[in-house]
Structure 1
Amino acid sequence: MAATQALKFLNASGIQVSLHPYEYDPNADAVGLAAAQALGLDPSLTLKTLMVEVDGKPGCCIIPSNRQLSMRKVAAAFGGKSAAMMLPAKAEKLTGYRVGGISPFGQKRIVPAVFEETACTAPKVWINAGARGLLLGIAPEDAMRVIKATQLGLVS
């Protein structure tokens, strides 16, 4: 499998990860949950990358695949008044990744990022590696450090 921008970015940053390919289901209702199930992983440690807009400015939220964002908490986390999910086409253009394969690492444009605090207590989490059907395993502190993310409560 060819190295994705996310993997190149992490490698250049000296971050060690494990790779976990799986059969991507384009018809899955919840891509993150489908990935967790396909790999036999805990959904609370299999994280999804969601692109948002807070007061019109882009942001990246990394949360457990079995949880939902609270837009009120997202707005507060980014110091704004209102938050909404970014439209898929805009998220793809901004990140350089396709929806279902968006990674917080190696995005085309650096945007503020926030990790859901409940996902930061485990020794390892699984996050999209920049391609549909490929997750990477990483220590949460390494993930947060390399993208200069903060950790706050984002889920309802």
Structure 2
Amino acid sequence: MARKHTKEQGSGSTRAIHALTAAGVPFTIHEYEHDPAARAFGAETVEKLGIDPAQAFKTLMVRLEPTGEFAIGCVPALAHLSMKLIAKAAGAKSADMADPAIAQRRTGYVVGGISPLGQTTSHRTFIDSSCLDHETIIISGGRRGLSVELSPLDLVELTNAEVTDLAARG
């Protein structure tokens, strides 16, 4: 199910995988058959790959107010992104989830396959501090059913992310 990346990957590659390969960052690809009826994409990834839910991270886009800036938040797949915490981290008054159509247009990825890497438009990125509890984490590889496993420190460096508490607790 999981395989190490190779330089010869062809048509199945995504912009996220190209970004990782170009950066020379070690990573592992995990693929699974996506269920078109699934709506909880992070939970589906955890279930299909049989991984620790704390190690799998989902990528969400928010709109910050009052500026209207869009930003990325990465939190554990089964957690909820706290709008108060991401707004505070970004120095904004408030935050709301971005409209899915806008998120798709701005990132170049479909909802459920949005990766923090290789987006068509760069966004400030914030990653929940729990990522540092793991040697590797799993994020979207740029399409539904495709995930990549990499060091959280490599992800932070590649996305120029700020690591902070983002997950809603309780």
Q: Shorter-chain TM-score: what band?
A: over 0.9
- Provide the C-alpha distance between the structure 2 equivalents of 1:154 and 1:54, rounded to a whole number of angstroms: 14
2:18 corresponding residue in structure 1: 8
Q: Which runs of 5+ in 2 are unaligned?
A: 1-10
1:86 to 72, 78, 98: 98
Paired residues for 1:47-58 under 5 Å: 47-55=57-65, 56-58=68-70
CA RMSD of aligned residues (A): 0.9
* Equivalent in the alignment of 1:28: 38
Q: Are 1:114 and 1:152, in contact at CA under 8 Å, matched by a contact in 2?
A: yes
- Whole-Å separation in 1 of the counterparts to 2:43 and 2:33: 13
Q: Write the distance in 1 (CA, Å) between the matches of 2:15 and 2:83.
A: 28
Q: Is the contact between residue 125 and residue 139 of structure 1 (CA under 8 Å) also seen in structure 2? A: yes
TM-score, L = length of structure 1 = 0.97
Within-5 A mapping of 1:28-107: 28-55=38-65, 56-107=68-119
- Percent identical residues: 37
The 8 Å contact of residues 25 and 31 in structure 1, kept in 2 or not, is answered as: no
CA distance in 2, matches of 1:119, 1:27: 29
Which of 1 and 2 has greater Rg?
A: 2
Q: TM-score, normalised by structure 2?
A: 0.89
- How many residue pairs match? The answer is 156
Unaligned runs of 5+ in 1: none
Following superposition, which runs of at least 4 residues in structure 1 exceed 4 angstroms of deviation? Answer: none
Match of 1:129 in 2: 141
Tell me how far apart the structure 1 counterparts of residues 132 and 92 of structure 2 sit (CA, whole Å). Answer: 23
1:151 aligns with 2:163: yes
